[in-house]
Structure 1
Amino acid sequence: MEPWYSLHWFSPAQWQQFQIANPLALLLIPVIILLFFLRQYLHRNAQQRLNLSVSPITTSRTRRQEIRVQTTQSLLSLLRYALPVSVFLGISLLLIALARPQIIREQRDEQSEGIDIMLAIDVSESMTETDLPPSRLAAARRVAQTFVNGRQNDRIGLVIFAGEAFSLCPLTTDYGLLKQYLNDLHAQMIRTSGTAIGDALARCINRMRDRSLASPDTTQQQAAEWNHSKIIILLSDGDNTAGNLDPVTAARLAKQFNIRLYTIAVGRAVTASSKATTVDEGILKTIATIGNGSFFRATDTRRLQAVFAQISKLEKAPIRVRIYEDVQDYYRIYLYWGICCLLFALFLKNTIFGNVLED
């Protein structure tokens, strides 16, 4: 930063950076100018003049002396204004200091607690169908990775299911680890055939209950469950044909824990050479309705991407924005300049220079 006595503080570029806290103080500067002119007008006839009679006989030498004297008098007449100008500058600079020029730098801090998201992905044999190229499971895996990339500050977990359900990844913000789990998904991970939708929902609910159970205070626990969003995104291509828990019961249990359910039916109704691989939407619609969520049909990869994009827009964590203002005052610089001008005016007034300039 420049020292206070630098002329840099009077440059237009510097003044463009300032914000004036008390602009009314600057309006007094024209009033000071008006008072000076008024004083000059009232005292114009009070100045003493001494008339001298000069001999009309002049020579070239005396003529040069007269020119020299006139030049000296003109300089002294200009210096006569040094005292009032110093007083005016001193008062004006004090008013500028009173106006408090300052530079304000604004900083924004955005904070978000995020939400809890459990992905429940069907890895049964029917997910190997190629109506969503290269396969239903591969398309779901790739789109889920893209969905993870678009989230921030959210805890995301992963549950896989076929005839049984397993929690593959707990709720985490380590998106790199989660995407690695998604990349390793294949249809042979669970040997038990079938589709256990109810068990998959139960696994997801248990993972989400961990946060609420960590709080011993009942009041704080209820507030956390109400404010912190929790959702389950279930991708499947078939009806519930296995498991120990009815999907409707699991959906009602999720509702009790304020967990919303989004279900996605993956694939078209096709018939393979060996067995029927139809996509049953009934149970998926039912549990989505019970869980205060939505049901989506994804018949191709583009539609599946659109579904995840829509869910991403629906489920956004509230962002708290804090604005910090770094205020730096520079009134001291102009205060020092004002004091220096007034001290200079006092010096002129109370020394021989003051009397010489006034005569």
Structure 2
Amino acid sequence: MFRFEDPAYLYLLISLPLLILIRMYGLRKRKKQLKDFGDILLVKELMPNVSGGRRELKFWLMLAAVALIAIMLARPQMGTKISQDKRQGIEVMIALDISNSMKAEDVAPSRLDKSKMMIENLVDNFTDDKVGLVVFAGDAFIQLPITSDYVSAKMFLQNIDPSLIASQGTNLAEAVGLSSRSFTKQDNVGRAIIVITDGEDHEGGAVEAAKQAKKNGMRVFVLGVGSTKGTPIPDGNGGYMKDNTGQVVMSALNEEMCKQVAEAGGGAYIHVDNNNLAQRQLDNEISKLQKGDIMNVVYSEYDEQFQAVGILLIIILIVETIVLESKNPLLRKVKLFK
């Protein structure tokens, strides 16, 4: 397991593009000064020992040295001792609807963004549990395998967008089925599938999938996002999505279907109107699940790896020092640089 002990120092790498811009400005200014002095070709003849290639190499060596210094300060480390950490918790798979209808703004800022905030709050409340993430529309796929790494869970959450799935629709059956198959093989652990959707454009089979999940010892909870009154769906260009006849597409929360799926899965349906209230309701339901032994892989010892970076840095600095900006008269016939 690789990590940086002080990753904040990696922000120093932002200076690299700035140094490149300064370099480009300097070269442009120098070229202009040479033109003012005289004809460029004639000036080069008057300076036979000057090497532009050597200056270029020295600059890139300096840039590499700055990057390595930032990496050294961030203290790269490698985990060397692996241990198994046993905790009491549950396993949760979250299935998030990312169909186009989730872009509707009948809840602020949008159904999808509100769902993301809900998931982030949910993950923040986990301590000894495992969580995974499935995204679905017309198809479903695993965005994050079940894990106890909550930082990664929230990081993967930020990149979710309807464009991830080309096939549109709301295939709840596939989402529940894939979530059911994504748990670990551990016994005596409470398992929950949390489906977050507006239930729009339901493709069938979801109730049967929820019943099968319940039969396999899982509980299916459905969080309904949106308004039952209906609202247009933004198209991303300042307008709204339209059907084949040119009519604006209206999307409404299908609460009845959501309730049927939750009931079939032995869970509960919760309407997400107020995040805090929905969060408390969900936490109350999840707390009823049986906690079991959750095994986590832990890297308990880390070795510093900055030494290798330091050796490379020294080599680069030595090469940068040896390479001169002017040609060595003794090696004039050796054409390493122009």
TM-score range relative to shorter protein? 0.5 to 0.7
Q: How far does residue 299 in structure 1 lie from its aligned partner after superposition?
A: 2.4
Q: Determine helix, strand or coil for the equivalent of 1:270.
A: coil
Q: Determine helix, strand or coil for the equivalent of 2:145.
A: strand
Aligned pair 1:262/2:221, yes or no? yes
Query: Are the structure 2 counterparts of residues 186 and 311 from structure 1 closer, same or farther at C-alpha, using a change threshold of 3 Å?
Result: farther
Distance in 2 (CA, whole Å) between partners of 1:127 and 1:239 is 9
Residue of structure 2 equivalent to 1:250: 209
* Preserved contact between residue 204 and residue 232 of structure 1 (Cα < 8 Å): yes
Distance in 2 (CA, whole Å) between partners of 1:282 and 1:233 is 17
* Preserved contact between residue 130 and residue 148 of structure 2 (Cα < 8 Å): yes
| 1:110-125 equivalence runs, <5 A | 112-125=87-100
Distance in 1 (CA, whole Å) between partners of 2:106 and 2:275 is 9
Q: How far does residue 301 in structure 1 lie from its aligned partner after superposition?
A: 3.5
Query: Are the structure 2 counterparts of residues 295 and 191 from structure 1 closer, same or farther at C-alpha, using a change threshold of 3 Å?
Result: same
Letter in structure 2 aligned against 1:265: G
Distance in 1 (CA, whole Å) between partners of 2:231 and 2:121 is 30
Q: Determine helix, strand or coil for the equivalent of 1:145.
A: helix
Distance in 2 (CA, whole Å) between partners of 1:296 and 1:229 is 20
Letter in structure 1 aligned against 2:226: G
Aligned pair 1:192/2:153, yes or no? no
| 1:37-76 equivalence runs, <5 A | none
Residue of structure 2 equivalent to 1:272: 231
The equivalent position to 1:236 in structure 2, one of 192, 197, 200, is 197
When you count helix as a share of all residues, which structure comes out higher? 1
Residue of structure 2 equivalent to 1:152: 127
Q: How far does residue 317 in structure 1 lie from its aligned partner after superposition?
A: 2.6
* Preserved contact between residue 239 and residue 283 of structure 1 (Cα < 8 Å): no
Deviations 1:169-206 (A, max 9, x none): 11100111111111222222212111000000011011
Distance in 2 (CA, whole Å) between partners of 1:236 and 1:271 is 14
* Preserved contact between residue 263 and residue 294 of structure 1 (Cα < 8 Å): yes
Q: How far does residue 126 in structure 1 lie from its aligned partner after superposition?
A: 1.1
Query: Are the structure 2 counterparts of residues 272 and 285 from structure 1 closer, same or farther at C-alpha, using a change threshold of 3 Å?
Result: closer
Q: Which range is displaced more, 127-136 or 266-275?
A: 266-275
Query: Are the structure 2 counterparts of residues 305 and 165 from structure 1 closer, same or farther at C-alpha, using a change threshold of 3 Å?
Result: same
Q: How far does residue 270 in structure 1 lie from its aligned partner after superposition?
A: 3.4
Query: Are the structure 2 counterparts of residues 240 and 303 from structure 1 closer, same or farther at C-alpha, using a change threshold of 3 Å?
Result: farther
Distance in 1 (CA, whole Å) between partners of 2:258 and 2:228 is 15
Q: Determine helix, strand or coil for the equivalent of 1:269.
A: coil
Distance in 2 (CA, whole Å) between partners of 1:240 and 1:125 is 11
Distance in 2 (CA, whole Å) between partners of 1:253 and 1:241 is 18
Deviations 1:245-284 (A, max 9, x none): 7112211210121001111111112333411211112222
Q: How far does residue 302 in structure 1 lie from its aligned partner after superposition?
A: 4.1
* Preserved contact between residue 236 and residue 264 of structure 1 (Cα < 8 Å): yes
> Kindly, what percent of the aligned residue pairs are identical?
27
Distance in 1 (CA, whole Å) between partners of 2:270 and 2:212 is 21
Find the structure with the greater CA-based Rg.
1
Segments of 5+ residues of structure 2 without an aligned counterpart are 1-85, 233-247, 294-338
What is the total number of aligned residue pairs between the two structures? Answer: 195
Aligned pair 1:282/2:282, yes or no? no
* Preserved contact between residue 201 and residue 247 of structure 1 (Cα < 8 Å): yes
Deviations 1:44-85 (A, max 9, x none): xxxxxxxxxxxxxxxxxxxxxxxxxxxxxxxxxxxxxxxxxx
* Preserved contact between residue 228 and residue 255 of structure 2 (Cα < 8 Å): no
Distance in 1 (CA, whole Å) between partners of 2:263 and 2:286 is 19
Distance in 2 (CA, whole Å) between partners of 1:117 and 1:168 is 14
Letter in structure 2 aligned against 1:230: R
The equivalent position to 1:126 in structure 2, one of 92, 98, 101, is 101
Residue of structure 2 equivalent to 1:167: 142
Residue of structure 1 equivalent to 2:267: 293
Letter in structure 1 aligned against 2:199: G
* Preserved contact between residue 195 and residue 239 of structure 1 (Cα < 8 Å): yes
Distance in 1 (CA, whole Å) between partners of 2:115 and 2:281 is 11
Distance in 1 (CA, whole Å) between partners of 2:103 and 2:278 is 16
Deviant stretches of 4+, over 6 Å: none
Deviations 1:69-105 (A, max 9, x none): xxxxxxxxxxxxxxxxxxxxxxxxxxxxxxxxxxxxx
Q: How far does residue 228 in structure 1 lie from its aligned partner after superposition?
A: 1.1
Q: How far does residue 312 in structure 1 lie from its aligned partner after superposition?
A: 4.6
Q: CA RMSD in A?
A: 2.4
* Preserved contact between residue 198 and residue 240 of structure 1 (Cα < 8 Å): no
| 1:197-236 equivalence runs, <5 A | 197-208=172-183, 210-211=184-185, 224=187, 227-236=188-197
Letter in structure 2 aligned against 1:260: R
